[in-house]
Amino acid sequence: MTKIFLDEQIKIDQRKHRSEGKLLNALSFEYKKGMDFDKLEIKQFCQDAGVSRATFYRHHQDLTDVVVVQFLIVIAEFKKQIDATEKIDFDNASEIVINTIYDNLELIKILQWSNLQPKIQPLFSGMTRQILMLREYNKIKQEFVSEFLANAILDFAQQIALAQEPIDRSEALELYRLLIPNHL
């Protein structure tokens, strides 16, 4: 079977990439300070991030876009990892999912803090649907299954990120394999 790549190899301008990193760092700082996400002001936020407002508004309408863009970057990286995997099955895909979660725990906490799950969940659903389509999964069930899996994975990621006691990666992998269906 011919390998079909998920990642479209989108090239991101390095200046934009640096700006996005600064914006994420500033969001992370505000989150850790306990600032209310809805009370953040663009002018002060940009100053704290070291990014001009012109640069901010060139790429974003508001602060929610910063979180959305970060998740788009994470999803693109996830797709690259899937594409680089020689043989994809539930076991190695679940390892990639868990590693992606643990590599982005802070972003997942920011998602909860910013209350943007309704904006992020469709990104996960879209990626899941793309995978199902490439696997020629039943078209009638694609929407339901992609929504279900996206919700389950996003909820799982938030449970891991927000757990009172940190959960070890290997334990999280075991839980993931137990809780997420591996046969659809």
Structure tokens at 162: 């927000």
Answer whether residue 1 shows pLDDT above 80.
no
Residue 7 pLDDT greater than 60, yes or no: no
pTM of the entire predicted model: 0.88
Look at residue 4 and tell me whether its pLDDT is greater than 80. no
User: Angle between the 90-103 and 105-114 helix axes, to the nearest 10 degrees?
Assistant: 70
- Find the Cα–Cα–Cα–Cα dihedral 12, 15, 21, 27, rounded to 10°: -110
pLDDT tens profile 33-71: 999 999 999 999 999 999 999 999 999 999 999 999 999
Q: Is the pLDDT of residue 152 over 60?
A: yes
Domains located in the chain, CATH noted: 13-60 (1.10.10), 63-184 (1.10.357.10)
User: What's the pLDDT at 3?
Assistant: 47
* Per-residue pLDDT at 8 exceeds 70: no
* 134 against 33, higher pLDDT: 33
Amino acid at 8: E
Is a pLDDT exceeding 90 seen at residue 82?
no
